[in-house]
Structure formats: C-alpha cells, structure tokens
Structure 1
Amino acid sequence: MIETGKLDNDEFCRREAKQFHLIYAACFAVFLVVAIVSRLLPRSWRPRLPGARARRTIIGEAREAADTFVPFAFMA
C-alpha cells in the first residue's frame, strides 16, 4: 500500500530542490558578471567589501557571493 502523504512530501522536496538550484544558478550568473566587471576595473575603483577574504578566482568570488545570498531567498 502506498502512502499518499509520503508521495506528496517527496514531490514537495523535489520541487524545493529544483527551486533552490534555479535560484542558485541565476544568482551565480549575476555574481559572475559582477566579479568579471570588478576585475576589469582599475584597482583604485574596485569596491572594497567588508569582510572580503584574500583574492580568489572569478568563479570562487561568484560562488562565495551566491552561497551567501541564496539562503536569504528561502527564509520565511
């Protein structure tokens, strides 16, 4: 016998995971563009973010920004 409540919960979890991945991919793309643009600016024009760690790769900067931002989208 199949429990319908369990199936609904599994479907809900799959939808939540899909939403998370879509939002993460969109944010990563935006932050990747920001990281590329910031690298093209002269050093004196680059934004100085508080708490910024040592210089990373462009992908690393975008990943760190997305990892910081995306959880706030799911706070309720």
Structure 2
Amino acid sequence: MTDYSSATMHAVPPNDSRTFRGIFIASFVVLLAIALIAQLLTWSWRPWLPGAEAEKSLVGDVKSAVYTFMSYLT
C-alpha cells in the first residue's frame, strides 16, 4: 500500500492554474458582453446570471456570475 501525503495528493499541476485563468477570462468576456448588450437595451439582466443579483456594479455582477459559473465546473 502506497502512502500518499496530503501535499502530494492536493498539489496543483502548473497547467491547472493557466487553464482556470483561461476559462475564467473567456467566461468573463462572454458574460460581460451579454450584460453590456442587455444594459444597452435596458433589459433586466441580473436575474439571468446566477450570483449577480446582489451586486451594485456591472463588473462586480459579472465577476460574481463568473465565480458562480466556475464553481459548477469543479
């Protein structure tokens, strides 16, 4: 039986942080575009994005929505 320490089992490979950052940026851009278009058309878009209901700024709303979206991926 192999003894794995907790540090080895939970070590993050170097490409994982780059992948996470890439997915975060891509989803931020997509959700920001949706929010901007809806804002320009004066639609109520905050209920569309999970996690964006309580924020006060556009960027804060989109950031909250992206973090909520990213939590579904892991």
1:13 & 1:64 partners in 2: Cα distance?
26
Q: Are the equivalent residues in 1 in contact too, given 2:32–2:59 (CA < 8 A)?
A: yes
Larger relative CO (CA 8 A, sep 6+): 1 or 2?
Answer: 1
Q: Which runs of 5+ in 2 are unaligned?
A: 1-9
Q: TM-score, normalised by structure 2?
A: 0.66
- Bigger helix fraction: 1
Q: Which runs of 5+ in 1 are unaligned?
A: 1-8
Instruction: Specify the SS of the correspondent of 1:46.
Output: coil
Aligned-residue CA RMSD in angstroms?
A: 2.5
Q: TM-score, normalised by structure 1?
A: 0.64
Q: How does 1:32-71 map to 2 (within 5 A)?
A: 32-42=32-42, 45-47=43-45, 49=47, 52-54=53-55, 56-71=56-71
* Matched-pair identity in %: 27
Question: Residue in 1 aligned with 2:20?
Answer: 20
